[in-house]
Each structure stands twice: as C-alpha cells, then as structure tokens.
C-alpha cells in the first residue's frame, strides 16, 4: 500500500514549475544530484532507496533547505522502513515547506512514521493536520493531490484500526472510497475496502464483512492485496462457523500468495474444525516452516496433535507456544 510513485513525481514536477528557478551552477548541481536520487527511488528496491538517500544528502550539503531533497530522503526511508529516520526527515520537510501542499505531505509522512512506530495518538494528530491541509488545497486540487489525500485517508484509517477505533476506521475507509471516483487514473480502491473489511471483522460484524469482501475482491488490485481480502473474508466466514466457506477463501488467498504463514495457520484451523486432522497438520507444518517463531502456529499444531492422540508431541508444541507467546485462535 504505497503512495504511487507516479503521483509523487507528477506533484513534484507541478510544484517545481511554480517555484522560482535561479539558473546557477549551484542549482544545476543540485538538480543533477536530485535526478540521481529520483532514479534511485524509481527503482523501488533497497539499493535504490539508499542511492536516493545518498544523493539527497549531497544536495542538502549544498542547500539544507531544498524541500525536494528532504521529500526524496523521506520517501526513501519509507521504502526501507527506517521509520525513525523517516520521522526526522518529515520534521524537516514540515519546517521548510514552501507552501501548504508540501506541509501536508510532510505531516502525512510523519503520521505514517508515527503509526508504524506505535505512536498512534501522535499519528492521529498528524493525519488530521494533513487531511485539513489537503482539504484546503483540494479546492483547486489536481488529481495528484486527490490521490495523495486518498492515501492519507487509508493510512489514517489503519492507524485508527490499530487504536481500536473501528468506527473511525470505517468512516475514513468510506471517505476514501468516495474520493477514489474523482481520481484519474483511479486509485487502488481495494485498499480502502480491505480496511473496512478488517474493521468489520474486528467488530465481529461478520455478515457485513462477507458481503463486502465477496463484492469487491474482483476489483482491480495487486495479487497481494486481493489475497488479504480473501483471507479476511475467510476469517469472517470462520467467525460464523462456516468452515468450508472459510477454507475456500483461505485456499484462494494461498493461490495468490503461498508464502504468507497466517494464511496457512487459518487454513489449518478450518481443517481442524471439521476433524480433518491430517490435512490440518500438513497446513500448520507449512505455516511453521514459513515462520517458526509464531506462537499461534505452535498452539494450533498442539491442538491438532492432541486431536489425533499424540499427547506428548502436543505438550511439546504447547510448551513452545508458551515460550513464544500467543493469542488464542
């Protein structure tokens, strides 16, 4: 769920055109360095992100108040999940922002960093500031700005979900869905629907989650995102005791992404609920192979082994689950 690179570069280009350009050797050097930084970001990988940081830093050695350099650096830290560094760069971007649009972007980045750092209250405050500023500029907004506001709504919704305010998460998801129709090319609206499905599952509103999940999973979206929509819909079916329907959803999720251990855990649970212990055991072994440090997986395996009469092996699994920590599935 990343901010579209196309949107970021287009917005930078728009804002650059309305900035005062001073033709000088120093500015030409900064432009050259920022082009190299841009190339790194466009690669969207670890090495490219560090390239972006390296050349942004060189540009900042010449002009520490170049907002584009701070933006590139902040985005690079986001790509490599260096959230402490991302937060510090966003602070600077906010301080030197030449207009309310760039300030909104700075608050957005700082909010994302705070959210991932577990500082949910600070994140909520920054998301609110960003959305207020986006609303101001959106009176004459380009589609690029609306796309960024869409991302801000979705990330803000996830922050509220982590805080346990599921009604707020649903409200923000609905706003994002409404806004998406105004964006060209369309935003990946499935992101907003997935947020709402997750909030509905957390509220145990399983029927609503299923209806939404089944109706939106065929919308355009990445396979990774669709796999999570199937997964959450399966969790909702499981919450209603509809284990065969849940199992089909988990299988579809795995068809799209077979390296996500949580999918295998819940597939195993759905088999075990129907006393299909050997299929359940095969699925949970796959989950543990993907992540041997998940206490829930060991707990599930213990239950399966107990179900087939292997009490000692079950005890060893329960012991392992206790050491790792778990939440009952």
Confidence of residue 74 (pLDDT cuts 50, 70, 90): very high
More confident: 20 or 219: 219
pLDDT at residue 138 tops 60:
no
Question: What does the pLDDT read at residue 324?
Answer: 92
In our burial notation (b when 16+ CB lie closer than 10 A, e otherwise), range 103-132 reads bbbbbbbbbbbbbbeebbebbbebbebbbe
Q: Is the pLDDT of residue 161 over 90?
A: yes
Task: Supply the pTM of this predicted model.
Answer: 0.80
Give the Å distances, CA to CA, from 114 to 76, 87, 88: 16, 7, 11
For 25-36, the pLDDT digits (tens) are 678 899 999 999
pLDDT of residue 148: 82
What whole-number distance in Å separates Cα of residue 317 and Cα of residue 304? 10
Q: Is the pLDDT of residue 297 over 70?
A: yes
- Which pLDDT tens digit goes with each residue over 168-178? 999 999 999 98
At 22, the pLDDT band (50, 70, 90 cuts) reads very low
- Across the range 130-155, mean pLDDT stands at 78
pLDDT at 195 over 80: yes
For the chain, domains (ranges, CATH) are 188-257 (1.25.40.10), 258-329 (1.25.40.10)
pLDDT of residue 300: 96
**Residue pair 137/103 in contact by the 8 Å Cβ criterion:** no
> In terms of Cα–Cα distance, which of 64, 154, 164, 80 is closest to 111?
154
Q: What is the pLDDT of residue 174?
A: 96
- Mean pLDDT on 198-211: 97
Which residue intervals of the chain are DSSP H helices? 5-17, 25-43, 46-62, 67-79, 83-96, 100-116, 120-137, 143-163, 166-180, 190-202, 206-216, 223-239, 243-256, 261-273, 277-290, 295-307, 311-324
The rounded distance, in Å, linking the Cα atoms of 60 and 55 is 9
Query: Which tokens in the block code for residue 271?
Result: 């088999």
């Amino acid at each position: 769920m990343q901010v579209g690179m196309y949107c970021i570069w287009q917005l930078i280009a728009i804002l650059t055109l309305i900035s005062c350009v001073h033709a000088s050797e120093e500015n030409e050097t900064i432009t050259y360095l920022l082009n190299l930084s841009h190339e790194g970001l466009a690669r969207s990988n670890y090495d490219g992100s560090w390239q972006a940081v390296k050349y942004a830093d060189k540009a900042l050695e010449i002009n520490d108040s170049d907002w584009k350099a701070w933006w590139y650096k902040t985005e690079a830290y986001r790509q490599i999940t260096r959230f402490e560094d991302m937060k510090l760069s966003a602070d600077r971007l906010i301080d030197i922002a030449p207009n309310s649009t760039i300030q909104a972007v700075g608050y957005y980045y700082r909010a994302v960093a705070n959210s991932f750092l577990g500082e949910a209250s600070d994140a909520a405050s920054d998301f609110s500031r960003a959305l207020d500023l986006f609303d101001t500029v959106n009176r004459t907004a380009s589609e690029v700005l609306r796309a960024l506001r869409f991302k801000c709504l979705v990330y803000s919704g996830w922050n509220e979900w982590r805080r346990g305010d599921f009604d707020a998460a649903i409200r923000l998801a609905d706003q994002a869905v409404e806004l998406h129709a105004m964006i060209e090319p369309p935003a990946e609206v499935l992101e907003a629907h997935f947020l709402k499905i997750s909030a509905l599952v957390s509220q145990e509103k399983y029927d609503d989650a299923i209806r939404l999940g089944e109706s939106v999973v065929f919308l355009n979206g990445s396979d990774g995102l669709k796999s999570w929509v199937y997964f959450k819909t399966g969790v909702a079916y499981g919450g209603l005791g509809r284990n065969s329907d849940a199992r089909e959803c988990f299988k579809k999720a795995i068809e799209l992404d077979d390296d996500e251990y949580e999918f295998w855990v819940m597939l195993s649970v759905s088999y075990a609920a129907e006393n299909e212990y050997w299929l359940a055991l095969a699925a949970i072994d796959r989950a543990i192979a993907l992540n041997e440090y998940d206490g829930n997986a060991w707990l599930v395996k213990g239950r399966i082994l107990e179900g087939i009469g292997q009490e000692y092996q079950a005890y060893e699994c329960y012991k392992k689950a206790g050491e790792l920590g778990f939440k009952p599935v």
